[in-house]
Structure formats: C-alpha cells, structure tokens
Amino acid sequence: MIPVTKPFLPSFREYEEYLSSIWERQWLTNNGPLLNEFELKLKEYLDVKHMLYVTNGTVALQLAIRALDLKGEIITTPFSYVATTSSIVWEGCKPVFVDIEEDTFNIDPTKIEAAITPRTSAILATHVFGNPCDIDAIQAIADKYNLKVIYDGAHCFGTKYKNRSVFEYGDICTTSFHATKLFHTIEGGAVFTQSPELLKKLVFMRNFGHNGPEDFVEVGINAKNCEFRAAMGLCNLAHADEVLEKRKTLSMHYFEKLKNLKAAFPRLNASKDYNYAYFPVLFDSEEMLQKTIRELSLEKVYCRRYFYPALSTLPYVTAQEMPVCDSVVKRIVCLPLYHTLTFSDLDMICRVILRVQNYGMTTEAEEAAAALENQIKSILTVA
C-alpha cells in the first residue's frame, strides 16, 4: 500500500536517549528543559525572532485571533483545511471568504478590498501547500485599512519569502507540527510574531494566564506542549535538511515524469524558496480526477482530495459563491509524497496516471466504479 503520506521517524535509539532523560528527571510537561531546548534550536534553525511551541496548529490559530483581540469579520480563504475557518467561528468572529488565484491556489489579493466593510478586523490567509501568498500585496491592503494580518503557515516549514522565513510575516503567523507534516513533533504547532508585546501576551495565554503560582494576568488556556513531543521535535530537527532535500528530489522526479500530463501544477513565486510540502495536481476535469483516483486505488495507491470541499460551503458559515475555488476543489488532488517513497513506486504512480489520460480506465476500474455507483443509488433509494 502507498498512502498519501507517512511521517518521518528518526531511529528509535535517537528518541530513546531523550526518553531516558525524561524518565530520570520525571519532568513530563509544563515548560520542561527539552521544550525550552527545542524552542531555542528551532528558532535558530528557522532564523526567526520570536516563537512559542504550542499544543497544535488549530490552537495556534485560536491564540492568534484572541491575542489580537479580533472582533466582527475576518477575511479569509475558502481553500484551506477546515481549521482555518473553524478557528474564526470558534472565536466568535465571522469568516468572509475571498476567492483564490487559480494558478497558486492562494487568496486573490485583487479581490480583498471589495470584501472589506466597517466590521472587518483582519485578514487570515493560508500559504497553501507551503506556497506563500502575495505577502506584499496583502500587507499593503492591511496597512491601508488598518487591519491585522494572520497567516496560516501550517504547510510552510522551511519555506522562505525574500530570503526570510515565511513565518516572519504578518502580525502573527502560525504553523502545525502534526504527524502528517514534513516536519513534525507527533502533535504540535507554533505561533510566531515580530512583536515583543504580543509574544508576552501569548506566553501568558498559553499557560492559563499564569504569572507565577498565584497570579493570573491574562485569560488563558492550556496550550502547552510536553517533553515527549519536544523530544521528537529535537530528533526530527537534526534531519530537517535531509527531509527537505529528499522532498524536493521526489517532487522534481514527479515533474519530469508528468511533464506531458494534461494538468496544472501551482505557480511558484520566484522571490522565495519552496519546501515541496505536497504534490498537488489540478486536472482538466473532475471526471479525469475521479478516474485517476479509482485506477490508482486498484494499485493500492491512495491520494487525497486536498482541500475538499470548499470552506465556503460549510454548514456553519454564510454560503458564498467562489467560482475559482469551486472549480479547483473539484479537480485537485495531492499525490503520495513522503521521505521513504521510492522512485520505483513514484514511477508506477506516474505510469498509472498517464495510462488513464491516454487510454482511460481499465475494465476492472470501470467495473469497480459502476459497482460503487450502483451501491450509492441503492442506498439513496432505500433512504
């Protein structure tokens, strides 16, 4: 079986050494020594000014919204993971969607101003698949209308924009270190800011508002992380360059093998370094996408329709028509990409995809698709 992703894991011996030290100290969580070491080494690796390691990427977004004291409407993208939108709603704000660029899949800055109202307090944009937004254009709009900017950089480990970490832009940037990411700490996330005042506020918010054992200066939650996950982060950080390089090598191999495919790949801005976090393919039609997925599944190759559906169609938001996004979500899929993916497996994946384009589905795939369609019809008839 070839899944869409697998987590990178260091040797167990590397991790075991950290586990032994945790057992000796019996300090499991609450700002332990490994967590502090991980934060310092990660800041150094990323070359960022301020960073806090937190429970996960979703909590990071919630902290960002709360730390900036946002109210009313937040302009955001309909093409992202559900946490981008749900965090806005969770914090009592209203997401206002702006359509995306078809060639980058990021929020279209030329459409943002038309969505601004007197109730708008911020822009929350996602750097989709680790490919940064037009940061300069977004910041110019934010400055013009006195809006805050949050970036969801969940996919952006190692990505740079104009020779700086993409995490250094916006009032606050967040990321995820979930096991599906190219750099992970099993579960985890981080918040980044250039502001010492915001950092201080976030420090309190991460730990219930504690300013000492009996002093609470801020409304906070439990957003701390633990020594075991920090240990995984320290192990994986030692391999980060290797992981990034392998990701790029595999992606270049995909591009070469699929150069004749009738599909599109994201446009990358030349002013940044890209981390090749995912390998998205935008097919010409939803029919071709579905045929390809079915054929690959017969070979036990599993892709992901990422992101699907559009966030503007969620049941707890105000529905908005997003013509570009609505088209993209029907035609895009992420192919398998992970550190231990072999070139022979990658070649097989590409052969199947090109075969579907050139000759259509195999009889077996057509029969499987027909059986599934009949099953769905049967269920609907009974219902």
- Full residue range of the structural domain in which residue 308 is found: 240-382
Residue 270, pLDDT > 90, answer no
70 lies in the same domain as 149: yes
Contact 199, 216 (CB under 8 A): no
Specify if 72 maps to a domain: yes
Residue 347 lies in a domain: yes
Instruction: Give the model confidence (pLDDT) of 276-328 as tens digits.
Output: 999 999 999 999 999 999 999 999 999 999 999 999 999 999 988 999 999 99
What pLDDT score was predicted for residue 362? Answer: 55
| pLDDT for the residue 367 | 53
State whether 198 and 262 are in the same domain.
Answer: no
**Are 152 and 223 part of one and the same domain?**
yes
Indicate if 328 and 252 belong to the same structural domain: yes
Structural domain contains residue 4: no
pLDDT, residue 123, reads: 99
Of the candidates 194, 221, 237, which is a domain's last residue? Answer: 237
Percent of the chain, pLDDT > 70?
93
- At 271 the pLDDT is 63
Amino acid 213: pLDDT: 82
Predicted confidence (pLDDT) at residue 351 exceeds the cutoff of 70? yes
What are the CA-CA distances from residue 97 to residues 170, 263, 286, 291, 299 (Å)? 19, 26, 23, 31, 38
Which residues in the chain belong to E strands, given as ranges? 51-54, 73-76, 94-97, 120-126, 148-152, 160-161, 164-165, 172-176, 189-192, 263-264, 272-273, 280-283, 332-334
What are the tens digits of pLDDT across the range 21-67? 999 999 999 999 999 999 999 999 999 999 999 999 999 999 999 99
Q: 304: which DSSP letter? A: B
Q: Of the candidates 218, 237, 256, which is a domain's last residue?
A: 237
> What are the pLDDT digits (tens) for 163-183?
999 999 999 999 999 999 999
pLDDT at 353 over 80: yes
Q: 65: closest CA among 112, 124, 3, 118?
A: 124
